[in-house]
Chain A
Amino acid sequence: MSETNIDIVNKGLGKRYRAEKRFRIYGVCAIAASLIFLAFLFISISSTGYTAFQQTFIRLSVYFDPEILGDTTNREGLASANFPAIVKQSLFKMFPEVQSRGEKKQLASLISSGASYYIRDMLIENPDFVGETIQVWLPADDDVDMLIKGHSDRGLVEAERRLNDRQIDWIQQLEKDGSIEKRFNKIFFTVGDSREPELAGIWGAASGSFFTMVITLLLSFPIGVAAAIYLEEFAKKNRWTDIIEVNINNLAAVPSIVFGLLGLAVFLNFFGMPRSAPLVGGLVMTLMTLPVIIIASRASLKSVPPSIREAALGVGASQMQMVFHHVLPLALPGMLTGAIIGMARALGETAPLLMIGMVAFIVDVPSGFTDPATALPVQIYLWADSPEKGFLEKTSAAIMVLLTFLIAMNALAVILRKKFEKRW
């Protein structure tokens, strides 16, 4: 009995089905691998970052000693008043047994060096505090903060710890009194950068990003839409429009750092614009986002059916009227979606901003388009480079804030698309 063809096929069938199954599993594994990585990334960042939204504060009874402060009724007096001494004095009063100079210094280092500014601001707001004792919660030093949050190990040998045994004793005493607690970290959301982790915030970087994005949106959206309208509705197919198209497609794929080089050479060196300014950042980002917006806007214009155009022309509209009165309103939601996605990408972009100097250490919150500023992703980069342990959680927290913005923007784009998308 000789083997028939069908037998040969049947014999191989099991093997082939197994290969089929394996192939399918490869596919599932590939998707699973990317999703697992995504989950891993989010979990790893939020687990290091969530603690930054709380901060350790120490309660002190601050006595506004008129002798130390001197005359605080005018500006010069306030500027020269010795607020750090006030903070130290109230701390020493809590631990009267501390006498030696060295120990006093160690004790004083438990409170953030920025605490005196809070005392000063309090006094400016309430000038009649002089001579009174007030209960105040002041930010603790970042080493204390790390210890309370459990990021530094209390069980280590003293030499390997940032805080020595005495300091930990004091902290435990404060804990027993309920004079040390974690509170919502308002500082993080309201101030600019600082060298001290416990005094650093993202508000300065967020404002810088905001100003940059305003310029980007104001320039790139109108220009991008106008370019798309010309190319899609008016331009004849010829060499010139071909060149423009090839250019746009190429610019969309040019590495972002090259745009930074352009900004440095043209805007800063040739035109002499200010360094580190959101204005220049916005211009560079505009050039970067333009291709994205143009491509999205063209796709959106293409999806408007020709019947709309013919109907408008048929009732006597000029070509311009046809485009601006009928096609553009129908294409606008799609263009907006593209713009939002382009803006989200620009918001997360770092490299070109490094080139134009938006990477400087800037404490002040920028108040205009030409003030020196950084942006959120640059702030993340700067903090990621800092050696202090306290900046680790700040970096992760800043990433969480940035991702929240990006997710919100993308969600908005999806909602817009769902709501206005028309199938013709």
Chain B
Amino acid sequence: MDANMNPTMLLLTILFLSVMGFVMGKRRSYAVANDAGGVSGLHSRPTYYGSLTALWCAIPALIIFSFWLLFESSIITNLVISSLPDQLQNLPADRLNLIVTDIKNIVNGNIVSADPNPSLVAAAEHYKKLNSLSHASLTVIVITIAIASILVIQRTINPKLRARNHVERVVKYILIACSTIAIFTTIGIVLSVLYEAIRFFKIIPLSGFLTGLEWSPQMAIRADQVGSSGSFGAVPVFVGTMLISAIAMCVAVPIGLMSAIYLSEYANRTFRSIAKPLLEILAGIPTVVYGFFAALTVAPMIRDLGGFFWLDVSSESALAAGLVMGIMIIPFVSSLSDDVINAVPQSLRDGAYALGATKSETIRHVVIPAALPGIVGSVLLAVSRAIGETMIVVMAAGLAANLTINPLKTVTTVTVQIVTLLVGDQEFDSPKTLAAFALGLMLFIVTLILNVIALVVVRKYREQYE
């Protein structure tokens, strides 16, 4: 617990030091200004001298601080492992991981399953010692650097120092760094998913994954265990995903499009100002709520309704998940289509009215065709949302990978499989766990393609009327 509090305290200390640096830098600038004939003799306003000191106090300290914390735990773990007795070190990777978990549990004072092995207790002591050593040295280094930078900057402050330009340049680099985080996130996603997926495809060939008709990822973790060997043909999973997305789009596109048309072409201001936010509430409801609703209310309702017509409806039918997902997507379709319909120039409508068309004829024959590219773009975005939606299908759709397009049967989706494969115990060598990353890669690629197409289409369309 103490060790956990340390970084937070240290962070606060750094912030405090940098505030001190600000005050000291400002004071110092006033002091040198007196010799140079008042504040107007300085190159920059005194605040900039303060900011300069504060920035140079905080930035190096913070960089060291964050890198230290990022790598600390893996380095210490490796050190502890290398100090373990040889017979423990030579264990296979998964057993070694268990031992490391045990050591960490001992460190945190949690109960360990078996009687702790003396060498484990020793390792835990070692771990604790390294941990506190690391924290102590971090504290010393960071505070030294912070104070040293304050002192160095203090000395360099003189009336000719171009503090404003200096500060502005640093701030600009910070702004640039912040804007590149989006790129690093994308790279991070691609690398992390790709890396594990490639490991998966080394075990299961890509062609088998993309064309296999049987999906049963439960495989024996240990060689002596009884169990299926697992088969990783992802076609049933893809078909299930497409089936549920298709049902969702059948609900969302007509309702969303008609709502958008009504709101933008027919509704008066008052109705619009009430109905639009209400529709957007649908988009704001967390998906876990929809999932609960689908599993608890909609699925039994559909099953009972099916029973009424002598139909055999599964209690985790694709229909229930798809229907609820469709309702969730309505506001996406409607608000995006609303925008594109509003962007159609009024002159087109006026032209149609002048030829004697009724309002609905104008909409059907002029407005919609003109807005079609934008509408297609918004539908594509909605499809990508449907494919990537997780909680509704996790809670309302099934786990069994049936290769069927019957909406009354149970199907499974890519996201459901990712969640079931990764929640709970993980073995990072087993294809079972890696399969989740392969599915994640597929998901990422497909949604990326859909998004890019949609964005390009929408952008082209906008330019057409601007």
Contact = CB atoms under 8 A, between A and B. Distances in A.
Nearest to B77: A272
Interface residues of A, number: 93
- Interface band, chain B: 35 or more
B189 A402 contact: no
Centre residue among B4, B178, B182 by max chain A CB count within 10 A = B182
B216 to A, nearest CB: 21
Given A227-B178, A271-B71, A19 B282 contact: no
Nearest to B104: A274
A402 B259 contact: no
B391 interface: yes
A35 B395 contact: no
Contacts of A318: 164, 168
Contacts of A380: 288-289, 292
A112 B422 CA distance: 35
A413 to B, nearest CB: 10
Contacts of B415: 255, 257, 351
Given A34-B327, A249-B455, A257-B388, A227 B278 contact: no
B359 interface: yes
A402 B288 CA distance: 11
A403 interface: yes
A407 B186 CA distance: 31
Given A262-B188, A272-B77, A369-B8, A254 B448 contact: yes
B361 interface: yes
A44 B455 contact: no
Quick one: which of A29, A262, A414 has the most chain B CB within 10 A?
A262
B285 interface: yes
B114 interface: no
B56 interface: no
A255 B443 contact: yes
26 contacts: A27-B259, A34-B327, A45-B293, A222-B178, A226-B174, A229-B175, A230-B175, A244-B179, A244-B183, A246-B452, A254-B189, A254-B444, A255-B447, A258-B440, A261-B193, A261-B437, A265-B195, A270-B192, A273-B73, A350-B390, A351-B390, A377-B288, A378-B288, A380-B289, A380-B292, A392-B296
Interface of B: 1, 4-5, 8, 70-71, 73-74, 77, 164, 168, 171-172, 174-176, 178-183, 185-186, 188-189, 192-193, 195-196, 254-259, 261-263, 266, 275, 277-279, 281-282, 284-289, 291-293, 295-297, 327, 330-331, 356, 358-361, 363-364, 381, 384-385, 387-391, 394-395, 415, 418-419, 422-423, 428, 436-437, 440, 443-444, 447-448, 451-452, 455
Interface of A: 9, 16-17, 19-20, 23-24, 26-31, 33-35, 37-38, 41, 44-45, 48, 222-224, 226-227, 229-231, 234-235, 243-244, 246-251, 253-259, 261-262, 264-266, 269-273, 287, 290-291, 294, 318-320, 344-345, 347-351, 354-355, 359, 368-371, 377-378, 380-381, 384-385, 392, 395-396, 399, 402-403, 406, 410, 414
Given A23-B363, A355-B422, 15 more contacts: A17-B358, A27-B261, A31-B275, A35-B275, A224-B178, A230-B176, A247-B185, A253-B447, A254-B444, A255-B390, A348-B286, A369-B4, A384-B295, A392-B296, A403-B289
